[in-house]
Amino acid sequence: MPAKIKRQRSEVSFLLGVLLGAALTYFILTELYVQRPISEFTLTLLPNEEYFHRVYELVNRANSSIHIVMYVVKYDPKEAEDPANVLLAALKAARDRGLDVKVVVDDVTKSDYPETIAYLKANGIPVRLDPKSGITTHAKLVIIDGKIVIMGSHNWTESALSRNNEYSVLIYSRDVASEVEKYFQNLWEKGRPL
């Protein structure tokens, strides 16, 4: 077979592979993003700013509890529209509705953003430091109503919620939420008071 025909067949095979791969990727991502009725287990991807919008919506719709473990939470009293401030205000509103709202943060939040601790405490939101100084609690978890878990790379800072490349997932599963809740409760019970 002449080299030219082999090269053309190779190029056609490569192009078909790329097209089939793209089509399969599109199908998988489309299926993951389609809103379905909530079942035993649902996973939703939350890249970049999608995290903020979904967490804000879920916090506002929560019925009983919101438990958070967050490495860094940055309240900025000068920036009302800062997405971190918006989430914190939503937590305050949930607390005002009588929900069980609790937050565990790492020492970085206390040392670098003491305004955050002051805001949470002033608004009746119980907050504790992770159990031990010198050991980083780098987790970023939100557990809502004992059935929804959001986890990933997003801290509650303006940069993480609006500019950085971040990725998190939302998991609807009572079983998963139960396991993550045990993790939260361990940190909460051993947490250092503020």
Name the DSSP letter for residue 191.
Answer: P
Predicted confidence at residue 6, as pLDDT, reads 53
pLDDT (mean) for 23-39: 51
Predicted confidence at residue 43, as pLDDT, reads 93
Predicted confidence at residue 80, as pLDDT, reads 84
Q: Say which range, 6-10, 62-66, 137-141, 183-187, has the weakest mean pLDDT.
A: 6-10
* Average pLDDT value for the chain: 87
> In angstroms, what CA-CA distances link 176 with 42, 149, 189?
11, 8, 20
Predicted confidence at residue 7, as pLDDT, reads 56
For 123-176, write each residue's pLDDT tens digit: 999 999 999 988 999 999 999 999 999 999 999 999 999 999 999 999 999 999
**What is the Cα–Cα distance from 156 to 42, expressed in whole angstroms?**
24
Write the burial class of residue 162 (CB in 10 Å: 0-12 exposed, 13-18 middle, 19+ buried). Answer: middle
Entry pTM: 0.79
Whether residue 24 has pLDDT greater than 70: no
Whether residue 21 has pLDDT greater than 80: no
> Can you spell out the DSSP letters for 102-164?
EEEE-HHHHHH-HHHHHHHHHTT--EEE-S-TTS----EEEEETTTEEEEES--BSHHHHHTS
Whose CA is closest to 192, among 84, 112, 110? 110
pLDDT (mean) for 24-32: 52
Predicted confidence at residue 38, as pLDDT, reads 46
Half-sphere exposure of residue 147: CA atoms within 13 angstroms, side-chain side: 11
For 61-94, write each residue's pLDDT tens digit: 999 999 999 999 999 989 889 999 999 999 999 9
